[in-house]
Amino acid sequence: MALTLLEMDDRDFASRREPMVTGYATAISVARGLSLPEAAAESERDIAERLPRGPATRGQLLRKAVVDGAEVGWIWVSLPGTTMPEMAWISDVEVDAGHRRRGYGAAIITAVEAELAQLGVSRLGLNVFGDNDTARRLYERLGFEVTAQQRSRSLVDVPSAAGVELVPMIDYAGRVETLFAEYAQHLVEEQGVWHGEAEARSARRLAELLPHGDRTEGTIMRTVLAKGEPAGWVWAAMPAPPRPGLGWLHHVGIDEAFRSRGHGRAVIAAIEAEMVHRGVRGLGLNVDGSNQGARRLFERLGYGLLAQQMAKDLP
């Protein structure tokens, strides 16, 4: 008999909720640099906020997977406009112990894709944590492509930052305006967002990350000098929620006239050294999924994969 997805009821959800909280806590403890008690509390808060009415929560699909009358797993999908604006999102999917390695994971996702397509949903995304190689290979086989990655490394054996110097930011307004204009354009070109909405979303993101500009608490912004000339800029931040165990590298920008000289790598080493000086022992960052050069660079620099986001268009 083929695998079938059935709506969860309150009893189904009650039996799944505790393992859901525990599994998510284990994953984010590594990805966000949290202790296990901190991760458990964060997991409990997140699920309580997103599923206040359990399977009856608006915009959320919770389905149990059944084969020959026996439950073999379950899936939780958030519809567009809840977790992500333009796409549905697989918030969690699980094949039960004793039923794994039988192709049920692929069957569950294929079944939910069919249900979403009937609802008029055109795109589906998900997050997979860095240590879950099996899941990443499954999603790749199902046609999901990488849209973004989060990477990190422990700040030991920081290399020399030869050739560059970091000084207090001297051109904040122009640099940030250009960066967030590029972010809005990315939303238009890569996600199909309407121009007005893209600009509004970019403005909200800027206000969220830099409410007080370059004086925002925990923000580190530096102009890059190469042989005394401004050659780019770097933006980092001290550890803070949701990743209190990691400093975060938001952006490295090298001006076109100074590229292909190793300055990008030197800037990363320089900001790593500043983080160490401030007592930070780990640094994380985002990489655009389509930026193969950046992905290879950070791999070479020892930045391991924390998590990646993937998406696919539905038929």
Kindly indicate the confidence band of residue 193, based on its pLDDT and cuts at 50, 70 and 90: confident
pLDDT digits (tens, 9 = 90+) for 137-153: 999 999 999 999 999 99
Q: What is the average pLDDT across 234-242?
A: 93
| Sheet bearing 60-67, strands edge to edge | 4-7, 60-67, 70-78, 88-95, 123-129, 304-313, 145-154, 282-288, 247-254, 229-237, 219-226, 165-168
Q: Do domains 4-147 and 156-175+213-280 have the same CATH topology?
A: yes
pLDDT digits (tens, 9 = 90+) for 121-133: 999 999 999 889 9
pLDDT of residue 101 exceeding 70: yes
Predicted confidence at residue 28, as pLDDT, reads 86
Kindly indicate the confidence band of residue 1, based on its pLDDT and cuts at 50, 70 and 90: low
Residue 67 region by backbone torsions, left for phi larger than 0, else alpha for psi between -120 and 50, else beta? beta
pLDDT of residue 34 exceeding 90: no
Predicted confidence at residue 91, as pLDDT, reads 95
pLDDT of residue 192 exceeding 80: no
C-alpha distances in angstroms, 87 versus 83, 126, 245, 294?
A: 8, 10, 30, 26
Report the predicted TM-score, pTM, of the whole model to 2 decimal places: 0.88
At 193, the amino acid letter reads V
Q: What is the average pLDDT across 180-198?
A: 88
What span, in angstroms and rounded, lies between the C-alpha atoms of 312 and 298?
A: 25
What is the SS3 assignment for 111? helix
Q: What is the average pLDDT across 156-171?
A: 92
Q: What is the average pLDDT across 11-18?
A: 95
pLDDT of residue 65 exceeding 80: yes
Predicted confidence at residue 196, as pLDDT, reads 92
- Looking at CATH, the fold of the domain delimited by 156-175+213-280 is given as Aminopeptidase (3.40.630)
Class of domain 4-147: alpha beta
Domain ranges of the chain: 4-147, 156-175+213-280
Cβ density class 187-223: b for 16+ within 10 Å, e for less: beeebebeeeebbebbeeebeeebeeebeeeebbbbb
